[in-house]
Chain A
């Protein structure tokens, strides 16, 4: 465990104007509502994991996330999801995201969807298992209603079928 006293600044890499604009929506006090909680049922070394990223990744055989509609309708973001096989490599995927540079993910998908690293952690016994399927959706959602009410229930059902117990989440 890190003993650092560092406090991560989420706006460190962002131009000051953009930080100021986005920062307007973030309260300056701690969240004081209820936070849902599922305790880990067993040690990490016995737990079945799936990964999920908001980076807009799909297997080449599946449809790309819809960037065209967002270009025409800037407040809309594709609310669907894609299944990513644990055997996927950079040669098997497309990455579509209008808010970040996707070149790095195309060179090494582990920078945001660390499938290879997790397979190594599985082989080393650090995690119980990596499930056959991981997931991507598209993180730009100004209205998350469809994502939360239609897409994520299907993701959860898929995860349950594969015995997933914990999810490692990585935003783009």
Chain B
């Protein structure tokens, strides 16, 4: 989504990217990032938590209003209410690309554990 943010900024639109994966800023260079440690598929907040969603949006909007130069990443303080192991963000079955590269993914995992 960083590439899309860049395209919009090149075309005269200001952007704020609320993202769970700020690391991609190192790869792409993203104009404005509000980073949040929330699960994939629920970057704004939990289902039916209007107050929590609003807080996150207000904070991201304040980052948009305050940003003075491109490439800054502001990390929000919120902590998700579930443990990663019990957070069901995954699709019902592994995506086609994951199935295709399963052996390679397992190998990367065992290399990282060494």
Contact = CB atoms under 8 A, between A and B. Distances in A.
Contact of A112 (B42, B80, B90, B96): B42
A71 B14 CA distance: 35
A110 B53 contact: yes
B16 A169 contact: yes
Interface in A17-50: 17-21, 23-31, 33-41, 43-44, 47
A166 B13 contact: yes
Interface string B20-54: 11111111111100011101111111111010011
B83 to A, nearest CB: 10
Given A1-B62, A27-B26, A13 B4 contact: no
Interface string A153-165: 1001001000011
Nearest to A108: B47
B113 interface: yes
Contacts of A1: 59, 62-63, 66, 74
A104 B44 contact: no
A25 to B, nearest CB: 7
B61 A127 contact: yes
A130 to B, nearest CB: 11
Given A1-B62, A98-B96, A31 B5 contact: no
Interface string A108-129: 1011101011101100001100
A171 B43 contact: yes
Contacts of A170: 18, 43-44
Contact of B44 (A18, A112, A159): A112
11 contacts: A4-B76, A10-B20, A34-B29, A35-B6, A44-B64, A70-B96, A75-B97, A97-B91, A104-B41, A152-B4, A168-B18
Q: What 4 pairs across the A-B complex have the smallest Cβ distances? A: A17-B109, A4-B77, A10-B21, A74-B96
